[in-house]
Structure 1
Amino acid sequence: MVERIFSDILKLKLEELCTLVKMLEDRFPSNIAANISQSSNTSQNTVSNISRSISLIECGPNKIAVIKLIKDITGLGLLASKKLVDSLPQVIKDSVDDKEFSIIESKFTSLGCKVK
């Protein structure tokens, strides 16, 4: 069934695909989408040293770059990433090890953001 749905999605025109993405983003709040993404990543990658969450407290002066960074880190769409930035403070990523935490933290701080 999932493969059939995926096959049907591949047949959509770009405009139809954009409409579908917007409908999904509107239907599923950004926190739920992030949690689903995190659950999927955690179940596929068993990491023994998972202990931290990274939260974005303040956006800083370059909002567009922050939205793009959140999109890259979480896998969310642009609209969901923008909603996340507009409703700070928010958890960006759960269950990260110390190495990943420091990498993500440095990316945000280089944009002038405050993270915790």
Structure 2
Amino acid sequence: MKKVEDIFKDICSLNIIDLGRLIEMAEEKFGKLNMKIDENNFDEKKKESIDNRKKSITLNKCGPNRIPVIKLLKEITNKSLIESKKIIDELPKLIIDDIENDLFLDYKKKFEDLGCVIE
């Protein structure tokens, strides 16, 4: 297995032109790989993988009324009103890092309902 890992490391160090040439050489030697991929199953697994990742909220733009946004920031981050206002004054700003997808979607909806632009 160590040999395969070493070969993989070598392949990863190739530039795109050399990688293309390597693929052409492998296809000449072994023929093209005709493998059918079940796209429906692949898409579901990919979507599930993306949905399970931890997410971050970056506030890019405050809504038209800053006071409810400041209150929401205070509630979510457990910061004081002054600290929450300072965050609004320094946009764009990372608000929360590494949260579960469900919590991310909940916070995202709350911010967007207030007219905020988040990432």
Q: Which residue of 1 aligns with 2:32?
A: none
Q: Deviations over 1:28-61 (max 9, x none)?
A: xxxxxxxxxxxxxxxxxxxxx5611101000010
**CA separation of 1:112/1:100 partners in 2, compared to 1, >3 Å: closer, same or farther?**
same
Q: Secondary structure at the match of 2:96?
A: strand
Q: Does 1:80 align with 2:70?
A: no
Q: Which residue of 2 aligns with 1:113?
A: 116
Q: Which residue of 2 aligns with 1:29?
A: none
Q: In structure 1, how many angstroms separate the alpha carbons of the residues matched to 2:118 and 2:101?
A: 14
Q: Which residue of 2 aligns with 1:36?
A: none
Q: Secondary structure at the match of 1:68?
A: helix
Q: In structure 2, how many angstroms separate the alpha carbons of the residues matched to 1:99 and 1:53?
A: 12
Q: Which residue of 1 aligns with 2:63?
A: 60
Q: Which residue of 2 aligns with 1:9?
A: none
Structure 2 unaligned blocks of 5 or more: 1-51
State the structure with more CA Rg. Answer: 2
Q: Percent identity?
A: 46
Q: In structure 1, how many angstroms separate the alpha carbons of the residues matched to 2:70 and 2:110?
A: 12
- 1:15-94 equivalences in 2 (<5 Å): 51-94=54-97
Structure 1 unaligned blocks of 5 or more: 1-48
Root mean square deviation of aligned Cα: 1.0
Q: Does 1:104 align with 2:107?
A: yes
TM-score between the two structures when normalised by the length of structure 2: 0.55
Q: Secondary structure at the match of 2:79?
A: coil
Q: In structure 2, how many angstroms separate the alpha carbons of the residues matched to 1:112 and 1:54?
A: 15
* Deviation of the 1:62 alpha carbon: 1.1
